[in-house]
Amino acid sequence: MVEVKKPVPEIDDESRPFFEAAKEGRLSVQKCSSCDTFRFPPRLRCPSCLSTDTQWTDVSGRGSVFTFGIWHQVFHPAFADEAPYNVAVVELEEGPLMVTSIVDCPNDSLRIGMPVQVVYTEPVDGVVLAKFKPA
Ligand code: ZN
């Protein structure tokens, strides 16, 4: 039987600091150096003031479930054993929204607004992803 690997994000120059921090167990997002707005996903310009001055800043890793969905259909064969699984958007304490999934929590226990804490998984060697579990 052929093993099907899970797809992982393509890491580019813009997102590399996020993934390097995750490997070290840190959740890091961009923070505008002009107006202090946190932003995620990584992008060139601040959505508030359009400045390109930014610094990567570690955040708390705490947040709450902003919304979520339960995927019953298998869209990729590597996820066949996990369906139904959740895809969630977590609102970080610092403000940015992050698409992720909630682990260590039955799907029927998920609630909008529930507090969560970041955890890290390594679905393939060398790529560490930020997921969240109930806090
Ligand atoms: Zn700004």
Each residue's pLDDT tens digit, 53-79: 999 999 999 999 999 999 999 989 988
Question: Quick one: average pLDDT of 96-111?
Answer: 97
Rounded CA-CA distance 62/70 in Å is 22
**What spacing in Å lies between the alpha carbon of 54 and ligand 1's midpoint?**
8
**What spacing in Å lies between the alpha carbon of 34 and ligand 1's midpoint?**
5
Q: What tens digit of pLDDT does each residue of 19-47 get? A: 999 999 999 999 999 999 999 999 999 99
**What spacing in Å lies between the alpha carbon of 17 and ligand 1's midpoint?**
19
**What spacing in Å lies between the alpha carbon of 12 and ligand 1's midpoint?**
22
End-to-end Cα spacing for the chain? 39
**Side chain identity, residue 112:** I
**What spacing in Å lies between the alpha carbon of 119 and ligand 1's midpoint?**
28
pLDDT on residue 63: 98
pTM of the model: 0.91
Q: Which two tokens stand for residue 113?
A: 């607004």
pLDDT on residue 126: 84
pLDDT reading at 107 higher than 90: yes
- Find all residues with CB under 8 Å of 81, minimum gap 6, and list them: none
- Residues near ion ligand 1 (CB < 5 Å) are 32, 34-35, 37, 46, 48-49, 51
pLDDT on residue 4: 72
pLDDT reading at 1 higher than 80: no
Q: Which of 16, 25, 90, 88 is nearest to 58 (CA)?
A: 25
**What spacing in Å lies between the alpha carbon of 103 and ligand 1's midpoint?**
33
**What spacing in Å lies between the alpha carbon of 46 and ligand 1's midpoint?**
5
- What are the residues facing 71 on neighbouring strands? 85
